[in-house]
Structure 1
């Protein structure tokens, strides 16, 4: 069989190549451009660094739950993303490029699993439906997809979980291990998809029992054991948090879930609409346990309903985070459209037009996330390089503090992530209050003599430096299309005497 024949027999592989090509290009661009972790990705870099240390993370990134419920600073549910990125990061001596390459490999793997599962469930039509739904994210997000920011891995992992769950519902029980891992990764990476992940897990389990009793589920004992083992491995860290901490993160998450501002009427409408659709599909032989490829409709209808219901319960402007589930929800649209396309006499021409439209979108559609990432990384990189030079003269611990909008939001985390990666003993005040995974690095735990490195960003007028301090002044690169927070143009690195 030639390569061309092999590709024709695996349409999902062609779709995967087309989706991965822009991801590979963005990875090369970021690595060649000297990308450094900054802001949230710097926070993630510290946690990835700590996976093999004595304070291995038990939870995910800090969440913005404190904006919705005062005093409740919960984390996203788990550290699985950190654990998957940690081996390459450690092997490269904690090089920043390893986080980008590792994220690329992770996203590319999740896309392959999503497309292969959709192909197993719905054939070529299923693979193309999932590919088109996922392709929507490419022009919108851009290069951000290959940075270690938790919303993006949650988005792609969630699509892979929905696709592998679909494969289970048509009788392909061997997809259960993939389903449990991708669903766990999505749920642990971001709170927005955690509620729907729980619902999908329960629905898939119940439907599997029904299908198995009807003789419609192909699943060996080995697959059952492997699924159980992988599920335990994925969740052992969050379970350890529940067993060892008070208050544990699950308790905080439940408090957040119970305190949403809510919209009762809208919630009832969402539930009633979803219930009516599921009942109608069941009456016409298209229920969740029908074993047919068209089961994707009630399956994704459940996804949509739970996401919308979660949005009605969100507070503090957090409802927009349900956009993380958008590619999975779009399958409701792409499934019938691809069905119509496959029956058309002009299917090949339509496919060419679609590929051309996506390509033009990648070239022409403005990508604000990408511009912001590039600008923030450029500003952080020049400061990080100077901070490394300043730190060479420091013996013993160093405390990183910040003043100014840009320093607080992006550059100070970039500095402490770089120094942590370089093996320095670093202490810092995180950007959120409450119980944190990195609390052991808070300056209040430091009694030994130390130096303080102040990262001070400002627009036009510097603050006077303490007597005896060493000051390194950095002019930030100008990016008019993505200006620094607060209009900051300069950063002073102020190294105070030992204290």
Structure 2
């Protein structure tokens, strides 16, 4: 065998090894989220409350009223005059084809959310490999599996708008890292990921804006410096593609600017400049919460699975501070090395690890600044989902810097042979991901979903037997559960079954779902009435001459049942 043939065989074997490692990493990242999807579908997950509204907007994408606004936000909780929506409806358009594919069923809503999360996670692996090769690919796989374990089954594939943004946020950070480090990564991918993150939750806007501003400035400087080069021509083409993607993903929001007065941008501006109603959370408290969210030990500060932000403790704050200082120290080390190299006359740039450190510091500081307008009182944890991505990104930078030392240590310990470390790590990650999917996602709180499914079955079952499809339906309700959960569930389930539905109560400001207001129902509409009975006392009167379809017990409060009537 000649040396050339031997070299070819060695290269082919190495290529197969890299492909196998990549495939294993992809499987490891996908396994927990697919298991979560199957568990929710088999358990009969049904959208209700905010998720019911979200599902209704997904249904509306292929209707005469496509959504032009994001989800309702909590900006008007203390002052209705400040009520606004999230910046955009991108999530609904991405989920809609999957909802139709499954036949307008709750499984289709979950599938749309799974598609967003899975595509973003695989995109993270693809960009990670371009930045740091196989080492960063393996590190990112571990970070992605850990993120899913922290989110739990209630956050991995649930469509509630902040949760699916966790992996797009991580993808956005990686794309920013790649672009600043001059790794071949399409700018449009950053644009799509960043736009999704910004549109998903108002809490992410400062983070996205800061990263995007830095990338624009750096990009402009680079283009100006290389105006005669081939790279400049590629940059111009990439810039036009990115601009086209930007216009496409923000088009519904641009259309909305001319639909309502005040439009959503004006509503958001009013909130941002108002100072808000009510006292802000103390600076120390919110700083403690953000720093605690940086705890590098998974589960030590379990905000990802909590309903409201838990109180920070001395231990969690110290752990967060140590993690932040480690990232700053890493960046300082890289900057000192860069300065020393330039003083010696070498023309060098900041390395990959140093660039990652810059992105992390920028992301963390901008996220911290985004909390300035949070008010005292109930602070839901999903406002802080992007912090999970920032922590995962920071771990990736730290471990990439330590990778040569880790592999050398494994070699000295004799745990892996030369060149076998990536395969061994990938195999271990697959095993860990399966364990996370099977045992590490926790249990789902089914009470709201079960009741929504029960109420929907009664209403849809009656309509299909007695009312022709296309007949308008008005949904009224008395009591807390109809107001907060069940009418929103029917706002999705009934249109999906073929019945135009009027179920929503008025919002303080104009919105794209005004056509669903119950007051706009035709006089001939069939009426569905939901009435809570708490401790034997009904929240409202039964409709005169109505037909009682049945009762659904709320397992979360044994003394609460909801009666379903047809008026």
TM tier relative to shorter chain:
0.7 to 0.9
Give yes or no for contact 2:472–2:501 (8 Å, CA) kept in 1.
yes
- Tell me, which stretches of 5 or more residues in structure 1 are unaligned? none
- Give the length in aligned residue pairs: 483
Secondary structure at 1:244 match in 2: coil
Give yes or no for contact 1:454–1:494 (8 Å, CA) kept in 2.
yes
Give yes or no for contact 1:281–1:298 (8 Å, CA) kept in 2.
no
Instruction: Find the counterpart in structure 2 of residue 333 from structure 1.
Output: 395
State the structure with bigger RCO (CA 8 A, min sep 6), 1 or 2.
2
Residue 93 of structure 1 and its aligned partner are, at CA, apart by 3.6
TM-score (norm 2): 0.76
Instruction: Find the counterpart in structure 2 of residue 285 from structure 1.
Output: 338
Q: For 1:73 and 1:365, how far apart are their aligned partners in 2? A: 38
The 3 A distance-change label for structure 1 pair 457 and 128 is farther
TM-score (norm 1): 0.86
Secondary structure at 1:255 match in 2: helix
Instruction: Find the counterpart in structure 2 of residue 299 from structure 1.
Output: 359
Q: For 2:365 and 2:69, how far apart are their aligned partners in 1? A: 27
The 3 A distance-change label for structure 1 pair 130 and 322 is farther
Residue in structure 2 matching 1:232, options 237, 247, 252: 247
The 3 A distance-change label for structure 1 pair 319 and 149 is closer
Residue in structure 1 matching 2:205, options 187, 194, 199: 194
Secondary structure at 2:77 match in 1: helix
Q: For 1:30 and 1:3, how far apart are their aligned partners in 2? A: 41
Instruction: Find the counterpart in structure 1 of residue 49 from structure 2.
Output: 39
Residue in structure 2 matching 1:421, options 480, 484, 496: 496
Residue 279 of structure 1 and its aligned partner are, at CA, apart by 8.6
* 1:51 aligned onto 2:128: no
Instruction: Find the counterpart in structure 2 of residue 97 from structure 1.
Output: 107
Instruction: Find the counterpart in structure 2 of residue 73 from structure 1.
Output: 83
Residue 4 of structure 1 and its aligned partner are, at CA, apart by 9.1
Give yes or no for contact 1:465–1:494 (8 Å, CA) kept in 2.
yes
Instruction: Find the counterpart in structure 2 of residue 120 from structure 1.
Output: 130
Query: Which moved further from structure 2: 211-220 or 458-467?
Result: 211-220
Secondary structure at 2:564 match in 1: strand
Query: Which moved further from structure 2: 197-206 or 448-457?
Result: 448-457
Query: Which moved further from structure 2: 337-346 or 193-202?
Result: 337-346
The 3 A distance-change label for structure 1 pair 350 and 13 is closer
Secondary structure at 2:82 match in 1: coil
* 1:467 aligned onto 2:515: no
Instruction: Find the counterpart in structure 1 of residue 510 from structure 2.
Output: 435
Instruction: Find the counterpart in structure 1 of residue 370 from structure 2.
Output: 310
Secondary structure at 1:65 match in 2: coil
Residue 84 of structure 1 and its aligned partner are, at CA, apart by 0.8
Residue 307 of structure 1 and its aligned partner are, at CA, apart by 0.8
Superposed, 1:337-348 pairs within 5 Å as 337-344=399-406, 345-346=409-410, 348=421
Residue 493 of structure 1 and its aligned partner are, at CA, apart by 0.6
Instruction: Find the counterpart in structure 2 of residue 60 from structure 1.
Output: 70
Residue 221 of structure 1 and its aligned partner are, at CA, apart by 3.5
Instruction: Find the counterpart in structure 2 of residue 88 from structure 1.
Output: 98
- Tell me, which stretches of 5 or more residues in structure 2 are unaligned? 1-10, 291-323, 340-348, 412-420
Residue 447 of structure 1 and its aligned partner are, at CA, apart by 4.4
The 3 A distance-change label for structure 1 pair 138 and 92 is closer
The 3 A distance-change label for structure 1 pair 45 and 129 is same
Superposed, 1:250-269 pairs within 5 Å as 250-258=265-273, 259-260=275-276
Give yes or no for contact 2:130–2:184 (8 Å, CA) kept in 1.
no
Secondary structure at 2:167 match in 1: helix
Query: Which moved further from structure 2: 249-258 or 351-360?
Result: 351-360
- CA deviations over 1:83-122 (Å, ceiling 9, x no partner): 1111232344422222222221221111011121122122
Give yes or no for contact 1:111–1:156 (8 Å, CA) kept in 2.
yes
Instruction: Find the counterpart in structure 1 of residue 183 from structure 2.
Output: 172
Residue 79 of structure 1 and its aligned partner are, at CA, apart by 0.8
Q: For 1:250 and 1:280, how far apart are their aligned partners in 2? A: 42
Residue in structure 2 matching 1:371, options 441, 444, 449: 444
Q: For 1:305 and 1:376, how far apart are their aligned partners in 2? A: 37
- CA deviations over 1:20-45 (Å, ceiling 9, x no partner): 11111222222333332222221111
Q: For 2:149 and 2:359, how far apart are their aligned partners in 1? A: 27
Whichever of the two has the greater Rg, that structure is 2
Q: For 1:41 and 1:228, how far apart are their aligned partners in 2? A: 31
- CA deviations over 1:318-354 (Å, ceiling 9, x no partner): 4744421123211223422343254222285777777
What is the root-mean-square deviation of aligned Cα atoms in Å?
A: 3.4
- CA deviations over 1:268-301 (Å, ceiling 9, x no partner): 999xx99x98899656539xx8463430111111
Give yes or no for contact 2:32–2:145 (8 Å, CA) kept in 1.
no
Q: For 1:356 and 1:108, how far apart are their aligned partners in 2? A: 19
